[in-house]
Amino acid sequence: MSAEAANPGATSRRRGRTRLDLRRIGRVALLGPASRDRLPDAIGHVADAHRAHHPDADLSILHRAYVLAESSHRGQMRKSGEPYITHPLAVTLILAELGAETTTLTAALLHDTVEDTDVTLDQVRSEFGEEVCFLVDGVTKLEKVDYGAAAEPETFRKMLVATGNDVRVMSIKLADRLHNMRTLTVMRPEKQARIARVTRDVLIPLAERLGVQALKTELEDLVFAILHPEEYERTRALIAADAGTGDPLNVIAEEVRRVLRDAGLSAEVLVRPRHFVSVHRVRLKRGELRGTDFGRLLVLVAEDADCYGVLGELHTCFTPVVSEFKDFIAAPKFNLYQSLHTAVVSPDGEVAEILIRTHQMHKVAEAGVVALGNPYAPTDDAETADDGVRADPTRPGWLSRLLEWQQSTPDPDTFWTSLRADLAEDREITVFRPDGGTLGLPAGASCVDAAYAQYGEAAHRCIGARVNGRLATLSTVLSDGDTVQPLLALDIGSGPLPEWLDHARTPAARIAITGWLSAHPQPEVPSPASATGRPPEPRPQESAGGRAPGVGTLVRRIAGNAVVDLPDATVRLAGCCTPVPPDAVTGFAVRGGAVTVHREECPAVGRMRARGREPVGVRWLNTGGCRVTLVAESFGRPRLLADLTEAIATAGAAVVSATVEPPSEQRVRHTYTLRLPDAAQLPALMRAMRAVPGVYDVSRAQRPATA
């Protein structure tokens, strides 16, 4: 693709770096000592890198793909002045170094032919097969001529949908963006910044979620250099200054080797320098950097059990920093990452962070899904999903969720915004359904998110949830390992509340809630002026409080269908008594020009009048939907919460919030804030709750309130 790449930092990697050093395969490595007129020799670099991971690979298809790519791009030049073929070759070489299989490399060589040359997808299909054709099509950009400003978001949508069927599509895109970012300095500064921001907001999170750390870390450094040049230079200077001093990590590494050798554990101990962004983050976290902050120790062993053996020896012979221990082997990250993390204090008082993993774990940690080869290779138990999508054991839950909600966002801007927000969630939790199934959700997700993840649009009827067997509000934030059971009302016509948006973290939930609210707007009371085109004539009106407004008074509708006799007032229903139609009500002006509406028997009304506060007339407009707080007094017994919740749902009420006080003398108090579609249903609801065995009283809330 036509974007250019440049390496923003000339500082070389520190000695001992164990991750794949992709920068060495830039233009110099690509062309080698040969001149530009000998470009065909460059395919040898790809072949050598590929054979290092796949000794028995058939290279003939790579040669054929190179011939087609080179002949198609012949005469095209990059903005840097190089022949264009250097770009697909570099992309292919990046993937070959990561261990990608032959089909991915073939598609990488051809990934720009359909977009930038006269080669068609049909030609690619007939020459190289359906799989290569699918991968090439997946990374081909949509034309701006056809899509205008929506071309970029729609291209990513297309690419993500293709990734849902074949994760290799995104690995090619990531390698493509990495090479483009390496020589981005040939672009105008404003274009550099735009491309860097998209890389930061979309590509880097995708690389993280697919586990391709080798690409992610270099992309982070390249973006860091463009968007934060001053901080980048400061970090580069710190790394350069540290390189000229004695490295305490080498001393600790030697001591670790001795400890493991004495214990009879075969392990490779390496010093793993941090990349620029990692050093920058540590500096922000700790302030002044220590000598051991510029890297970590990496211990590689053969078997999983050896990881824990190494951990035990290190914690025995060194002082461990307990707060730094994490076990990502027993509980792998959602991006396939596995490793033990710990930190120990050396006899000299230096603190060293240590990663412990097997060689296979290290390969997957660096290359992610690329290291898994072809997840769609034919096997005896190959499966295809019901929707025609190939069953993919490597397809992560976050990608499945993304593919689901993107179908509900035809608007490109909404999709683009939601995608960035979704990818900004950098941690995932797993919660369990009562039937034993699991739901993958972003960290910070609530019961609202779990309901929509499990039931889709049927979650509009959700009235509450049980978390770990206990009744919980929909706003409850879930933790990793929780068991959650959303509770649905029987009334299929009920819908979500606007405040659910305050608790929804997943785009799927937010899009579904927003869509329902847009399709079911709350009815508004037409002003008299809207019908006649002129201001209304003042006339006296009776209110439930018994006062008539003065001449010229305007009437304003509030939530809960209450109307007050005070012009331009912001009004609300009191939370202490939660009045609903047809309660006798009165109002009082409070600070800020607001009017609070209370039931006549509310204790707050007596206190207001005792202080000489003048009441404001209030009347009910109609008996439409309302919110009310009920208190149920009961004797404690098993399944009481379940039966009460079922009674509320059967009556057609939606639970906004619920609290249960600790039992006292075998008595339990439940407080529910409910939303009713019709206030006239309140007496029937209270009777239904009283009919629940063990419940001896249900009353309206009368909580203390301040003026």
Token duo for residue 297: 């120790």
Would you call 115 a catalytic residue per the annotation? yes
Q: Is beta strand 351-358 parallel, antiparallel or unpaired with respect to 295-301? A: parallel
Token duo for residue 207: 């690389």
- Helical spans, DSSP H, in 166-289: 168-181, 189-198, 204-209, 213-227, 229-243, 248-262, 276-286
Rounded CA-CA distance 404/519 in Å is 20
Asked whether the beta carbons of 136 and 72 are under 8 A apart, the reply is no
Catalytic residue (choose from 101, 112, 116, 583) = 116
Q: Is beta strand 570-573 parallel, antiparallel or unpaired with respect to 594-599? A: parallel
| Beta bridge pairs of residue 271 | 297
- 3-class DSSP state for residue 274? coil
Q: Which amino acid is at 23?
A: R
- 3-class DSSP state for residue 263? coil
Positive or negative CA dihedral for 111, 426, 398, 392?
positive
Q: Identify the H or E element spanning 696.
A: strand 695-700
- 3-class DSSP state for residue 429? strand
Looking at the chain, how many residues does it have?
Answer: 707
Q: What is the CA radius of gyration of the chain?
A: 32
Token duo for residue 627: 């919110």
CB atoms under 10 Å from CB of 412, counted, come to 18
Rounded CA-CA distance 299/130 in Å is 42
Q: Is beta strand 462-467 parallel, antiparallel or unpaired with respect to 667-676? A: unpaired
Catalytic residue (choose from 115, 131, 231, 268) = 115
Token duo for residue 281: 């983050």
Residue 256: name the closest of 303, 292, 290, 298 by CA: 298
Would you call 381 a catalytic residue per the annotation? no
User: Can you list the positions of beta strands (E) in 541-625?
Assistant: 556-557, 562-564, 570-573, 585-590, 594-599, 615-616, 618-620
Rounded CA-CA distance 73/68 in Å is 9
Active site residues: 115-116
